[in-house]
Structure 1
Amino acid sequence: MQKLWILALAILAKVFLSLGFGLGMGPELALHLAPDTLPDVQEEAARAVIQRVIGPRSSQLFLVEVSRILDFRSFQISMLDSGQILIAGWDGVSVCKGFHHYLKYVLERDVDWFKMRIELPTNLQLPNVTIRSTSTTILYHQNVCTWSYSFAWWGFEQWRRHIDWMAMMGISLTIAPVQEAVWQDVYTQLGLSGAEIEAHLAGPAFQAWQRMGNIRGWGGPLKPEYQRLQELLQKHILRAQRDLGISVALPAFAGHLPTAMRRIYPNGNYTEVERWNSFPDPYCCGLFVDPLDPIFDLVAALFLRRVVQRYGSNHIFFCDPFNELQPPVAEPDYMRSTAAAIHNSMRSVDPEAVWLLQGWMFVKNIFWTDAMMEAFLTAVPIGRLIVLDLQSEQFPQYQRTDSYYGQPFVWCMLHNFGGTLGMFGSADLVNNGIEAARRMPNSSIVGVGITPEGIGQNYVMYSLVLERGWSELPLDLDSWFKHFARTRYGVDDEGLQQAWQLLRRSVYSFRGLQKMRGGYTVTRRPALNLDPFTWYNASDVLEAWKLLLSSRAIIPLEDDKYAIYEHDLVDITRQYLQISADQLYVNLKSAYRKRQVARFEYLGSKLLQLFDDLEHILASGSNFLLGTWLADAQRAAPNAADKPNFEFNARNQITAWGPDGQILDYACKQWSGLVLDYYRPRWALFLDDVTLALHSNRTFNSTAFKLRVSQEVELPFSNKSDVYPVEPMGNTWFISQNIYERWKEYLRDTQFLHNNRISVNLKLGVQ
């Protein structure tokens, strides 16, 4: 009966959508977007995920079944008479989520972004359990920027592991933004020359912002050969995702065009896009064609028909016309017409189209008054627009918009900007925030998502959010963090669990409104006006570090979890050195103000020693190497001639981010190699200049220093070609232990961090 009800619901949804009506909330909407992949295909895909994670031998212990008799997006686990475990799910994603649940909560083993293979004991006895999950609607993953900050150089093998992880987390909706090959064909058909197209398309590390109209051409040229390879890669990605039941949103036309369109259609109603982050011409200020102009419909149809033809469709398209850009007309009627025109352009190609919109443009932007937002959002029939409330954990917009005026939205944790490193999170806000969104009167929430600009950091926070998305009630965070420690290392150790409790109440306890962008002392351009702060006691991090070091013998070296232990040891060592650098800097500022030359020189030498230790510990971790990022960039180049530009893209993005440092250090990384040849040299130059000023009894010339450090360190780094290791060097535990013994006392007696934590929290209104 339920199966027939679901089928009838799907048919009705398609009829209503084709007629231009809206769509209901929850399962009805998610069902409409679900891939039509056959159950046996999804079963085979889920079976392959299990085999890749635990190996062919262990995977024989599990049987899978896709059954639409189950509740929407739910799973059921039971033991058969054969002793095998049957995992049944509504779709392939639900099956994989069920497998992950069994792995984590019955066998107490877990996966990670960096570790997707788990070795189970040969004599494993499977517990006889029966588990039935609650259902979920949408679990979303990705940010348009992630494709540049984290995925820029990925091949299919990396994507395969990530898709396996997505399925095991229960993720059911994502995006596929690759579109340059389509645009190459569209622009050629419209009459643009090869040179004009080349001047518009950005390089491989900067495509996210060219796609959103923020920049053009920077980091190019983007050769057609590379475009075709990326198109082929995306087809493989889409096939793997849809085989598992993951829905994928494809790009729609947002209105941004090359400046050369004025030559082809000189009478078009264009607006020159405002300059973004001071990017100079020719890298800024493309055209935005008015969505009411016939040119918009022409280009939209040419583009979207090709997109659907090449990539298929799950009836959902993403489009962000005003990402960090102001609309050209500040009138509600214009915003209403604009939104309607954009959605109608999607419907003209796919009558069942649903628009996926990032709500980032509404955050802290005075343009978007209540009237503007309501006009824009309600121009689309209810249920034909899904809003990603992009940073719900800190700046939720669903409250001020009365649940987006009835449009369905996804509660998202953004958390990370630029793919920066640094232990940070808001565990309590996440846990309770999702509950508040669900319980809000007339809430139109349809799911939970993670939208970091970069991955590969603070895995615990993303694991928490995705699990919370499947849970009807708030989690017991004390129990959850203890269990996280057990499954992360595969051992039941009090010390490891206590370490994670300390991290939970320190680095993962942020409750403020500060914009956390990874700009710590070690990665910022040196100056005398920096204001480092923290919201926790450094002693908690120190004690957690000590406990991790003490637990080494508990995890066998040959165990698959030892690599995760080493990763965490590098990360917590890096974190404590990061905090110590903040303290050293504050003391340096004080010594400068008091004209204490000898003390300034001593503290400066201490800071440079810290950089050496930071480089040493990072070099021992396989996930903290600049060499890997650069090697992957070169490997992604379609031919030898393109390798230098691909390396330039990789280097520039994580340092200058622009021709003259327009977004300097926004995507900074605490990586071995980058510390050695970029961050340390900057601080050495700064310390020399300030010391000279002190000896000369004059004021430090910050303007002259900025010019010098830019010309001598920052901008040259993008054009270098030094080769860096792609394999870790040294024993992580011994290096970390040595650093611990030398630095453990440095912050023990100081009150700076604790006092600064109090002052910052009071300033932010946090008790």
Structure 2
Amino acid sequence: MVGALNLSCILIYLLINHFDLGLAQYSYNGAIDVADALGPKLAGHVFPDVSPDVQEQAARDVIKRVIGKKASESFEVEVNRLLDVRSFQISMLDSGKILIAGWDGTSVCKGFHQYLKYQLNKDVDWFKMTIELPVNQHLPNVSMSSTSASPIIYYQNVCTWGYSFAWWNFQQWRRNIDWMALMGISLTIAPIQEFIWQDIYTQLGLNLDEIEAHFAGPAFQPWQRMGNIRGWGGGSPNQGGGSEFRRLQYLLQQQIIQAQRELGISVALPAFAGHVPRALRRIFPQANFTETERWNRFPNAYCCDLFVEPQEPLFRQLATTFLRRVTQRYGSNHIFFCDPFNELEPPVSQADFMRSTAAAIYASMREVDPKAIWLLQGWMFVKNIFWTDELIEAFLTAVPQGNLLVLDLQSEQFPQYQRTKSYYGQPFVWCMLHNFGGTLGMLGSVELVNSGMDLARQMPNSSMVGAGITPEGIGQNYVMYSFALERGWSDRKLDSAGWFTHFALTRYGVQDERLNQAWQLLRTSVYTFHGLQKMRGKYTITRRPAINLSPFTWYNVTHVLEAWQLMLSARSIIPLDDNRYDIYQHDLVDITRQYLQITADQLYVNLNSSYRKRQLARFVYLGNKLLELLDDLERILGSGSNFLLGTWLEAAKLLAPTVEDQSNFEFNARNQITTWGPNGEILDYACKQWSGMISDYYRPRWARFLDDVTLALQSNQPFNASAYKQHVLKEIEKPFSKMNKQYPVRPSGDPWLISQVIFEKWSKYTKDTKYLHNNRLQLPYK
């Protein structure tokens, strides 16, 4: 076996080693010479084949959508490829118009955003993509230029397509693409591929039942694509909507890719990673298949698809057939993403196997596109004891240097570029992951992001060529992503205090010390995380109740209370124009939610103490207070337009291609954010603090828990945790996925009035020492 692997590896090396981006010509003596030389070359290599005229028109359209047709006439744009790679220039013409020139369309849009934010004190947000400029808006005369320190600025995670994008239509994508361009993002992914695979599987001889048994439902497709699961959430072949949904998703992907490329954004397309339906063994009985390992305890019906080893002739056949069709239908920017072992253990723990596997995967790409670049998530190396340094080096160096671009997926907490000596010379992108599952909760690591990029750029023999954001879900903690993307463009550390001051100004449209101080308090509290704990967004409120939870925090919680009070006091000075008040209300709901989340943690610590000490009266009192808190949380969330379960569920049903599919799409939407699997395999991983979720999912779980523990205390018996788990899974958690109750899609009540009432109640209550003996939440060091 080892001898065969060595021979295979040698043959593949001879095939592919003559093509690379020429990285070897650059000296490794300087700290960042290699990255400085390779970054612009790589950015140019994958740049879309789109004319400057098309990019200019696309940039004009972005500006028009953001500030309106009339205001956009005050700006001129120019795409000039003679400028430095990923740069822009701003100047005033004799006509009084502002000229923004850039290397590409997205650099022009980045320059426009720079002018909006730092000259006009206006900014956008995921929830605010239009800006009102006064009719007589004065346009400051500035002359400036800026070149990105990161030739590649990346955005997206394969999981974002499940946790955030699952139900999006093109209108929502249009806003997101506009935002991407304004942030200067130059590289992203386009993972939709099921319609293409459906054709291939059919032509190979699989029947509809076998195909449907493989494809997961719309909320779970990212994990089916990576070989983690199969079939879960998929529709019945008798419904007939699966094929139509895949066709519509394919058409949507074409629209998205076209819109991105017109702006000069490069799009990485999917390549074959080796995962195929189990039924393919019927078609190719002589092929060498291995079953993938069970992922997160998924049962047999939904786990363990087949993996075609890349050395197998069938791999080459499937890989080249698939990639040819992908490029025929989507075009190509010569960059393809492929992650064969995402949270899956490879079948062989040998360096020769890893070397030949990587070489074969890249060879299949190059056979279709001789200029192919492989985009790889570095996630499979994170905290995984299987991947020894020897195996990682064998895998990475099997591809010619410069032809494998690695996303260091969670650089702010678990960077792998240090361990791998800058990925053994392969170029990499420093990424802030930050969010898992699209969960809510204020958190971030401002200073780690600020300093981390410099450390990576300046390390000896650094091959860092870019920066990016890779959240599993968006729609939360916007300040962190805005900061990280600006830091990625900049060649030096940002003044974080000054940056947050300006963030408050551009966010609310008014210079006010209370608002500034509120954001400084958040900067020095919730956004100072620097530990090694896995931050998964599971707080007391959203976790399945138990007597052994360990809530913790890393900051002074009174800072959140003070920031909340300052925001409440600033209501009267928030402008009503330009949707500023809507953003203010969003932030007010979010900080109220945050403080109630913290208070629930404190209540739980005391509840647990009263249980251990068998203090029945204290336990009952605190339990009632926790339920009261959940009622208040439901009320404040219901007043915020971005915190509604109904929005998520209705979007899922709206995307269903037939009426018959609506129930399954709603099931997908509900299951993903609760049990994530048939029996809670990844329970609460994608939990959401949304109105509707609190009242009908989290509160009933806590109410049943409190009742059961109270009975145990009254009868002087230990709490039966096993019985509780069985009951709550059967009676609350699993049934929630199958419910069809409709929830509001519009907010109810005045967020400020509701927040003010909650503030007066809970800020006083947490000072009461009668039953709250210990409000301190410790940071465990593990």
TM-score range, shorter chain: over 0.9
C-alpha distance 134-22 of structure 1, shift in aligned 2 (>3 A): closer
Shift of 1:749: 6.9
- Equivalent residue runs for 1:479-494 within 5 Å: 479-494=498-513
Between the aligned partners of 1:650 and 1:80, the Cα distance in structure 2 is 51
- Equivalent residue runs for 1:336-347 within 5 Å: 336-347=355-366
Decide whether the 8 Å contact of 1:204 with 1:220 is kept in 2: yes
1:251 is aligned to 2:254: no
Superposition CA RMSD, Å: 1.3
Pick from 695, 709, 730 the counterpart of residue 690 of structure 1: 709
1:122 is aligned to 2:135: yes
2:147 match: 134
Decide whether the 8 Å contact of 1:573 with 1:617 is kept in 2: yes
Pick from 39, 51, 75 the counterpart of residue 38 of structure 1: 51
Between the aligned partners of 1:748 and 1:540, the Cα distance in structure 2 is 15
2:777 match: 756
Length-normalised TM-score, structure 2: 0.94
Shift of 1:301: 1.2
- Equivalent residue runs for 1:445-456 within 5 Å: 445-456=464-475
- Equivalent residue runs for 1:364-763 within 5 Å: 364-748=383-767, 755-757=776-778, 759-760=779-780, 763=781
Shift of 1:121: 1.3
Shift of 1:700: 0.6
Between the aligned partners of 2:113 and 2:773, the Cα distance in structure 1 is 43
1:188 match: 202
1:279 is aligned to 2:298: yes
Between the aligned partners of 1:608 and 1:319, the Cα distance in structure 2 is 46
User: Which of structure 1's runs of 4+ aligned residues deviate more than 4 A?
Assistant: 16-19, 748-755
- Equivalent residue runs for 1:222-237 within 5 Å: 223-237=242-256
Shift of 1:753: 8.1
1:206 match: 220
- Equivalent residue runs for 1:235-384 within 5 Å: 235-384=254-403
Shift of 1:473: 0.3
Name the aligned partner's letter for residue 128 of structure 1.
N
Shift of 1:21: 2.5
Length-normalised TM-score, structure 1: 0.96
Between the aligned partners of 2:422 and 2:774, the Cα distance in structure 1 is 39
Shift of 1:752: 8.2
Decide whether the 8 Å contact of 1:18 with 1:352 is kept in 2: no
Pick from 157, 163, 169 the counterpart of residue 149 of structure 1: 163
Q: Deviations over 1:325-353 (max 9, x none)?
A: 00000000000000000000001111100
C-alpha distance 314-18 of structure 1, shift in aligned 2 (>3 A): farther
Q: Deviations over 1:167-200 (max 9, x none)?
A: 0000000000000000001111111111100100
Shift of 1:30: 0.8
Between the aligned partners of 1:85 and 1:557, the Cα distance in structure 2 is 27
Decide whether the 8 Å contact of 1:419 with 1:667 is kept in 2: yes
Between the aligned partners of 2:613 and 2:495, the Cα distance in structure 1 is 49
1:219 match: 233
2:60 match: 47
SS in structure 1 of the partner of residue 368 of structure 2 = coil
Unaligned runs of 5+ in 1: 1-15
* Greater shift in the superposed pair: 674-683 or 24-33: 24-33
Shift of 1:114: 0.5
* Greater shift in the superposed pair: 219-228 or 203-212: 219-228
Q: Deviations over 1:547-570 (max 9, x none)?
A: 100111111334411111111000
Pick from 114, 117, 130 the counterpart of residue 101 of structure 1: 114
Shift of 1:109: 0.7
Between the aligned partners of 2:183 and 2:155, the Cα distance in structure 1 is 10
1:173 match: 187
SS in structure 2 of the partner of residue 356 of structure 1 = strand
2:19 match: 20
SS in structure 2 of the partner of residue 128 of structure 1 = coil
C-alpha distance 753-448 of structure 1, shift in aligned 2 (>3 A): farther
Name the aligned partner's letter for residue 501 of structure 1.
Q
Name the aligned partner's letter for residue 284 of structure 1.
C
SS in structure 2 of the partner of residue 271 of structure 1 = strand
Between the aligned partners of 1:339 and 1:559, the Cα distance in structure 2 is 51
SS in structure 1 of the partner of residue 300 of structure 2 = coil
Between the aligned partners of 2:556 and 2:426, the Cα distance in structure 1 is 42
Between the aligned partners of 1:490 and 1:527, the Cα distance in structure 2 is 45
Between the aligned partners of 1:282 and 1:727, the Cα distance in structure 2 is 39
2:84 match: 71
Decide whether the 8 Å contact of 1:534 with 1:753 is kept in 2: no
Name the aligned partner's letter for residue 95 of structure 2.
S
* Number of aligned residue pairs: 746
SS in structure 1 of the partner of residue 679 of structure 2 = coil
C-alpha distance 754-75 of structure 1, shift in aligned 2 (>3 A): farther
SS in structure 1 of the partner of residue 528 of structure 2 = coil
Shift of 1:748: 4.5
SS in structure 2 of the partner of residue 631 of structure 1 = helix
Between the aligned partners of 2:220 and 2:360, the Cα distance in structure 1 is 28
SS in structure 2 of the partner of residue 497 of structure 1 = helix
Shift of 1:538: 1.0
C-alpha distance 110-393 of structure 1, shift in aligned 2 (>3 A): same
C-alpha distance 409-753 of structure 1, shift in aligned 2 (>3 A): farther
Unaligned runs of 5+ in 2: 1-14, 24-37, 236-240
C-alpha distance 749-484 of structure 1, shift in aligned 2 (>3 A): farther
Name the aligned partner's letter for residue 97 of structure 1.
K
